[in-house]
A and B are shown apart, each in its own frame.
Chain A
Amino acid sequence: MRITVNGESSQIAAEKLAAALDELGYGAARVATAVNGEFVPAAMRADHALCEGDRLEILAPRQGG
């Protein structure tokens, strides 16, 4: 299916969020996720089903003020 990952369109085969992260190359990365603007905790990624057109945000720790 086609989803938007961090603002860019992506074609993925995975149906669940955890699998999609693997497929997109985030593997064991220290990231947090949100789908369509809603936070999805790490513990729920394995069960979270993705749908065509979903907007996935993948964030990591960064500098800040």
Chain B
Amino acid sequence: MNIDATILGAGVAGLSVAAELSARGARVRLIDPEGAPGPLACSWWAAGMLAPLCEGETAEEPVVRLGREAAAWWQAAGAAVTQAGTLVVALDRDRGELDRFARRTGGHETLDRAGVGALEPELPDRFASALHFASEAHMDPRAALETLQRTLAARGVRIERATPPQGQIIDCRGLAARDRLPGLRGVRGEMAILRAPGVGINRTVRLLHPRHPLYIVPRGDGIYMLGATQIESEGRGPASLRSVVELLNAAYALHPGLAEAQVLEIGADARPAFADNLPRIVRQEDRIHVNGLFRHGYLLAPALARMTADWVLEGNTSEFLQ
């Protein structure tokens, strides 16, 4: 069989590119020495927020605009996307943080205590006001990766551990591609997964905190993902005690019921990023790179996969192509 493209790396970037190319009829091959997405991929540790509006607080404009495609793309790819919105809260003494967040983002409505209570009955007493981003979504990132793997398998594409590349090489090795992308750096993130059957939070909640900002994403069945630190470091080693303590403390401030939670996992990885924290498709002599997804792997992989396929299959350029 003639292969059109070989994709290196089966994280969210590689799997999305493979899915998009094969959906458009290209014959692809996917290589990852790990055989499947797992703890060695940054994608394993993500929260799974599809929150383009909230990210707009600090991210550049393309993240907000292109991130809007994400939920629909994932849904079409068969992932279970929960469209429950995002609730952004701050402790009373940090009210100013909420005002600032509101000024820098769009597509939200301001809720009072009663409004918060109507959405999240377990939160109201602590939060006199909040911002609600009704259009945002979240999903279980590991389940989403598995869905893509299954879709690909149905198209005859399996993740191979080693095989000679054929056709266009598309390098999606995440931070490992630093050997060829000198501008790529790591931004470390630490997270925890909790089981708290006694806690009922239905949507992503972000706590704005001047020292320890935090978000919590429900994964269903009383499981919650708690994240995440953001540290300029390519260290991919285990989470530090201090980071975890701060995360867990902030979580406790958000919902005292989380004090009873069981800690299922503590994880850490370094997000691959360029200096402006925007992704790129970088052309090199023997390959193209799809990289630099930073905090936005799941949010921007759909747009990036589309642009990659546009380039590889049609020769069309796009804003991230270099």
Q: Which residues of A contact B (CB under 8 A)?
A: 6-8, 25, 60, 62-63
Contact = CB atoms under 8 A, between A and B. Distances in A.
A42 B135 CA distance: 53
A60 B233 contact: yes
13 contacts: A6-B240, A7-B240, A7-B241, A7-B242, A8-B238, A8-B240, A8-B241, A25-B237, A60-B233, A62-B231, A62-B232, A62-B233, A63-B232
Contacts, number: 13
Interface in B193-246: 231-233, 237-238, 240-242
Contacts of A8: 238, 240-241
> What interface size band does chain B fall in?
under 10
Nearest to A62: B232
A56 B96 CA distance: 40
Among all A-B residue pairs, the 8 with the closest Cβ atoms: A7-B241, A63-B232, A7-B240, A62-B232, A8-B241, A6-B240, A7-B242, A60-B233
Nearest to B233: A60
Interface string B48-61: 00000000000000
What is the predominant secondary structure among interface residues of chain A facing chain B?
Answer: strand
A8 B238 CA distance: 10
A19 B242 CA distance: 26
Nearest to A60: B233
Contacts of A63: 232
Given A7-B240, A7-B241, 11 more contacts: A6-B240, A7-B242, A8-B238, A8-B240, A8-B241, A25-B237, A60-B233, A62-B231, A62-B232, A62-B233, A63-B232
A40 to B, nearest CB: 20
Nearest to A26: B235
B245 to A, nearest CB: 10
B38 to A, nearest CB: 20
A29 B91 CA distance: 40
A60 B232 CA distance: 10
Nearest to A6: B240
A8 B235 CA distance: 15
A60 B231 CA distance: 12
A35 to B, nearest CB: 18
Contacts of A62: 231-233
B263 to A, nearest CB: 16
A25 B238 CA distance: 13
Contacts of B242: 7
Contacts of A6: 240
Contacts of B231: 62
B157 to A, nearest CB: 34
A7 B233 CA distance: 18
